[in-house]
Amino acid sequence: MSIDWITVFAQIANFLVLVWLLKRFLYRPILDGIDAREAEITHRMAEAGEAEKKAQAVEADFRQQKQQLLSDQDAVLKRALTESEDQRDSLLAEARAKLEKEQQDWHKHLERERQKFTAQ
């Protein structure tokens, strides 16, 4: 059994050609695809980070507006309460004055009726 050196060199040459073809037409496109995918993922992560920052800014603005609205609501509520108390006090004072006047008129009327009765 002898070694056929031409076949060995042909097999080595075939193997090297196969490795070169695989590297050029299979391995390189796969690596390029992986690199493109990594770049896309990096880009999307950057966009997600920017979106998160924007969302946090919007959330902070929303919280500030909510706090402002609550404080405005408290101020309006206090002002309405004060106005209603003032209006209640003025209405009560007006009602008391009217009642006292009616009582005075009633007493005057009773006094006149008594005088008429005693005069008869």
Secondary structure of 11-62 in HEC code, one letter for each residue: HHHHHHHHHHHHHHHHHHHHHHHHHHHHHHHHHHHHHHHHHHHHHHHHHHHH
Q: Report the sign of the C-alpha dihedral through residues 113, 116, 119, 120, in that order.
A: negative
What does the radius of gyration of the chain's CA atoms come to, in whole angstroms?
50
Q: Report residue 1's pLDDT band, with 50, 70 and 90 as the boundaries.
A: low
Q: Report the sign of the C-alpha dihedral through residues 109, 112, 116, 118, in that order.
A: positive
pLDDT tens, position by position, 30-45 = 999 999 999 999 999 9
Domain ranges of the chain: 1-88
What's the average model confidence in pLDDT over 105-118? 90
Tokens representing 78 are: 């206090």
| pLDDT of 2 above 90 | no
